[in-house]
Every structure is written in structure tokens, then in C-alpha cells.
């Protein structure tokens, strides 16, 4: 939005809370604590009750840095500072961000005290902005104001440099994400079919990788997962649960909990990578391992494991006591099943689409750590590859590969011992008495594309 004289005619609402702790009293007049809400200016509510953000930018001048967001209606904001890494986190009620995510990609080195920022839905009814800081900063001003004669709103958070001790004293934890409901008992009573959990990666304020033309990983994988869910449900053999069905953030811990709470028989996390080398292409299937199979697998796992931190969430799946013998046996058997599905999936994928030169890898992915749910992470391809990016945007490619994955799922359950869909822990107590009602039909085999370079 342009900065004009009309927009400067605003009625600001300023809220400054006293700092906690006697050691901060002397600095309170210069650097107040901002972990209390900054009230919204009295402007009209947007249609549907959800304000729309139409612009977001960073400005730097006179030694201060300002994060400015323009909206169609007022919101109350709660800005806090966090350390390790240094960040400004702004929580607010749900906002529809109609802002290009590229707005948060600042020039190399950032603008003033902000290196980059991202925004989006953090939890049902709640949105969040996370700004990466270049160093210690103090919140000098947090303001919500009506603009354009009261027809719109703007909030501004202004930062100034400070020393590490003062920054550390001002650090406050952000609002946690609400826990997801546990409907395990109800779902088990309703339906005894094998449960497949589909996990579209990223979402909300975590866009994932950005590809050619600004395409976002979170959108690509959500479309694929939705198509795969419809395909699996249409056959009637499985009950499908998705960790997200819209553009919302889900923590890594919650993704694992969804699978375990649903007593899932299989967990498929869907992603798409991006590299500076546009020649690297093709799908890759990852499994969990305490040691990465190679450097590329380690890089991908490290990137994906940062998803929570990027959203300002300090959470990860809690590791069980690996010294427990039963736990260790269950985990070993679970990983055996995961490797079996990995091999089956790459075999079916090779018949319908391009595989990476090294399509079966392993690393310490946090999202694959459920000890009793066979789990894989499917990288559909590389958004940095022109060929892969065009394919992932193609409904024909999506339908073909979805059929391939569905065929792999059918083959996996046809080959498994024990009742279809039983967890590894329970399957070992049953004789192999069941299989799917019909054998899977392999997908057609088009001519394979050229191998990737990695």
C-alpha cells in the first residue's frame, strides 16, 4: 500500500505494559515489556469476521526498524521477543494474509534489524508473524491504528538495537499452539479398517520450499495429499486421516501424535524439495534412521526438522526410553515395515514418473519418529527443476502418481503378515490370515525420464 498523506491521518492506540522484575525498572520507560496485547483500533470488521491483510513490509531509518502490516480491519496483537534464535513473534486472531510470501524475503543481510519474516495461520483462529532478527533488539513501539478515515487498519512494531543482557531480560515465551483433540477411542470404535495418515508438509506461516515462479511447497503437497486421500478413500479399504486439510500450521509433534492417536497402519509425509542446482530432479522416499544415509539426506532432514523453530514453536516429538526392550523391538519391526513400503513405493513410482538417481534414503526426521507406525517421507520432486515443477503442477501427473502411490499401499498391505492394518506391535501376535480383497493393479509404465544428477 502506498504511503500517502491520507494514510497518515490515524488515531493510534498505544499500549505499554510495565516490565516484569525489579532489575528492569530503570529501563522500563525506554523499553517497555510487550507481552501483553496491544488493542485494536475501532474499525469495521471484515466480511466473514476475519480481517484481511493486504500489505506487509519492513522499513529502517534513524537506527530503528519497523515491521508494518496493513489490514482491512483491526486486530489485537501480542508481540514478544525470543532467544536462540533471536526472533520477534507477533500473535493475533486469525488474519487472511492476502500478501505475497516473497514480501518476507528481504535483501541479503536483511533490512535493519530484521533479516526475514513469514506469516500465516498458526492454529485454528490464530495467526502469527515470525521475524528473524539480525541481533539483540528492543521493542520501542507497538501500535495499532485506524487509517483511511477508519476504513482500514495498520499495526506497526518498531525495534531498536540493544545489548544482549537487556534483550535476554525482555525475552518472553510466545503463546503455545492449542493441543489437538485425541479421538483415538471414538475412531477405533467406528471403523476397523487400516488407517492411513497423510501428512502434507509445512502449512500456514511455514511455506516450506519456494520454487520457480514463486510456487510454494505447502500448496503443492496439499493438493497432492488431497488427491491421494480421495483416491484411497474411494477404494473403501482404508480410513484416511490427514494432519491438515487447509493452509494451517501443524507442529512436528502434533503430526506424530495424529498418527499414533489414530492407531495408524501407515504414515506418509508429503514434501517437495528445492535446490540452487536446477538439474537435480526426481522423487525420493526417506525412512527414519539414527544415521543419515548420505549428506543430501542429512541436509533434507535438518531442513525439515527446523519447521517448528521457523514457526516460533519449541516442540519436538519426545523420544521414548530406547533402553526398553519392548520399545526397541517394536521400533525395529516398525522400521522394517517402513523399509518394505519404501521399496514398494519406489517400485511403483518408477512405473509412472521420474525417480531421483538415489531414490531410497534415510535420516533422522523428527516427523518419522513414531515407534509403532511405519512412516516414510515422500519428496515428490524438486521445485527448483523446471521439469519437476511443471509436472507437479499438472493434474495428469498428479492423477498418475496418486494411482502409483495407491498401488504401492495396496501391495504393502497385501504383503504384510497379520491382520490388515495391524500395528507392528500387535501384528507379531497374529498369524498371516488376511489380505486385501483384491490384488493391486500396477500402474502403466511410461518411458522413464532422464536420471537426476544427485
CB half-sphere exposure, 13, CA atoms < 13 A: 19
Residue pair 58/67 in contact by the 8 Å Cβ criterion: yes
What pLDDT sits at residue 189? 52
C-alpha cell at 326: 519392548
Q: Which residues contact 182 (CB under 8 A, 6 or more apart)?
A: 257, 261
**DSSP code per residue over 188-235:** HHH--SPEEEEEE--BTTB---B-GGG-BHHHHHHHHHHHHHHHHHHT
Map residue 17 onto helix, strand or coil.
Answer: strand
Map residue 10 onto helix, strand or coil.
Answer: coil
Centroid of chain to Cα 41: 31
Give the separation between CA 223 and CA 401, rounded to whole angstroms.
12
User: Is it true that the peptide bond before 85 is cis, omega within 30 degrees of 0?
Assistant: yes
Ranges of CATH 3.40.630.40 domains, the chain: 195-310+325-415
What is the CATH architecture of 52-170? Sandwich (2.60)
* Pairing, β 64-71 against β 52-61: antiparallel
Centroid of chain to Cα 453: 28
Give the separation between CA 117 and CA 2, rounded to whole angstroms.
20
**DSSP code per residue over 302-363:** HHHTTHHHHTT----PPPP-TT-HHHHHHHHHHHHHHHHHHHHHHHHHHHHS-EEEEEEEEE
Q: What is the mean pLDDT of each run of 10 residues along the chain (454 residues)?
A: 37 33 36 53 57 96 97 93 95 93 89 96 93 97 90 94 98 80 51 94 94 93 98 96 96 96 98 94 97 96 92 64 64 94 98 98 96 97 97 98 98 73 42 35 39 40
What pLDDT sits at residue 160? 98
Give the separation between CA 30 and CA 356, rounded to whole angstroms.
56
The string over 51-68, giving b where at least 16 C-beta atoms fall within 10 Å of a residue's C-beta and e elsewhere, is: bbbeebbbeeeeebbbbb
Residue pair 281/391 in contact by the 8 Å Cβ criterion: no
For residue 168, the surrounding DSSP H or E stretch is helix 164-170
For residue 270, the surrounding DSSP H or E stretch is strand 266-273
CA distances from 218 to 140, 269, 352 (A): 34, 12, 23
Map residue 117 onto helix, strand or coil.
Answer: strand
Q: What is the pTM of this model?
A: 0.77
**DSSP code per residue over 236-258:** SS-EEEES-SSS----HHHHHHH
Question: What φ, ψ does residue 353 adopt, rounded to 5°?
Answer: -160, 180
What pLDDT sits at residue 417? 54
Place of cell 500478501: 99
Give the separation between CA 193 and CA 237, rounded to whole angstroms.
6
Give the separation between CA 441 and CA 287, rounded to whole angstroms.
25
Ranges of CATH 2.60.40.3500 domains, the chain: 52-170
Give the separation between CA 285 and CA 269, rounded to whole angstroms.
10
Angle at alpha carbon of residue 22, lines to 18 and 24, rounded to 5°: 60
Q: How many residues are there in the chain?
A: 454
CB half-sphere exposure, 280, CA atoms < 13 A: 18
What pLDDT sits at residue 101? 83
Topology at the third CATH level for domain 195-310+325-415: Aminopeptidase (3.40.630)
Amino acid at each position: 500500500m502506498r504511503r500517502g498523506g491520507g494514510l497518515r491521518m490515524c488515531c493510534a492506540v498505544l499500549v505499554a505494559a510495565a516490565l516484569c522484575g525489579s532489575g528492569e525498572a530503570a529501563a522500563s520507560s525506554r523499553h517497555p515489556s510487550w507481552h501483553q496485547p496491544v488493542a485494536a483500533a475501532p474499525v469495521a470488521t471484515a466480511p466473514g469476521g476475519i480481517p484481511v491483510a493486504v500489505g506487509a513490509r519492513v522499513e529502517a531509518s534513524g537506527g530503528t526498524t519497523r515491521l508494518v502490516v496493513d489490514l482491512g480491519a483491526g486486530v489485537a496483537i501480542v508481540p514478544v521477543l525470543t532467544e536462540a534464535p533471536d526472533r520477534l513473534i507477533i500473535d493475533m486472531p486469525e488474519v487472511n494474509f492476502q500478501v505475497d510470501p516473497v514480501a518476507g524475503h528481504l535483501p541479503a543481510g536483511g533490512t535493519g534489524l530484521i533479516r526475514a519474516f513469514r506469516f500465516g495461520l498458526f492454529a485454528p483462529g490464530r495467526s502469527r508473524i515470525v521475524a528473524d532478527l539480525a541481533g539483540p533488539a528492543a521493542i520501542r513501539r507497538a501500535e495499532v491504528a485506524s487509517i483511511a478515515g477508519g476504513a482500514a487498519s495498520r499495526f506497526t512494531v518498531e525495534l531498536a538495537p540493544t545489548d544482549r543482557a537487556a534483550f535476554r531480560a525482555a525475552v518472553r515465551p510466545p503463546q503455545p499452539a492449542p493441543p489437538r483433540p485425541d479421538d483415538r477411542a471414538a475412531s477405533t470404535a467406528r471403523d476397523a479398517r487400516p488407517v492411513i495418515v497423510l501428512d502434507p508438509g509445512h502449512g500456514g506461516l511455514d511455506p516450506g520450499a519456494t520454487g520457480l515462479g514463486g510456487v510454494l511447497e505447502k500448496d503443492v503437497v496439499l493438493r497432492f495429499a488431497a488427491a491421494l486421500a480421495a483416491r484411497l478413500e474411494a477404494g473403501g479399504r482404508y480410513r484416511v486421516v490427514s494432519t491438515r486439510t487447509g493452509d494451517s500450521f501443524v507442529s512436528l509433534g502434533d503430526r506424530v501424535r495424529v498418527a499414533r492417536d489414530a492407531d495408524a497402519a501407515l504414515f506418509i509425509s508429503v514434501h517437495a524439495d528445492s535446490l540452487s542446482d536446477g538439474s537435480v530432479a526426481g522423487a525420493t522416499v526417506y525412512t527414519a534412521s539414527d544415521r543419515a544415509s548420505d549428506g543430501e539426506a542429512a541436509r533434507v532432514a535438518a531442513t525439515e526438522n527446523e519447521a517448528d523453530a521457523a514457526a516460533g514453536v519449541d516442540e519436538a516429538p519426545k523420544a521414548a526410553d530406547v533402553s526398553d526392550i519392548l520399545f526397541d523391538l517394536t521400533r525395529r519391526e516398525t522400521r522394517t515395515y517402513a523399509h518394505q513400503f519404501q521399496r514398494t513405493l519406489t517400485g511403483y513410482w518408477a512405473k509412472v514418473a521420474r525417480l531421483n538417481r538415489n531414490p531410497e534414503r534415510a535420516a533422522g526426521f523428527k516427523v518419522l519418529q513414531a515407534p509403532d507406525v511405519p512412516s516414510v517421507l515422500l519428496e515428490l520432486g524438486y521445485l527448483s527443476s523446471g521439469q519437476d515443477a511443471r509436472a507437479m503442477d499438472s493434474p495428469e501427473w498428479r492423477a498418475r502418481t496418486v494411482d502409483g502411490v495407491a498401488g504401492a499401499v495396496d501391495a504393502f498391505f497385501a504383503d504384510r503378515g497379520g491382520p490388515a492394518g495391524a500395528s507392528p506391535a500387535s501384528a507379531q501376535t497374529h498369524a498371516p490370515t488376511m489380505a486385501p480383497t483384491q490384488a493391486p493393479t500396477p500402474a502403466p509404465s511410461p518411458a522413464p525420464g532422464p536420471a537426476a544428477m544427485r
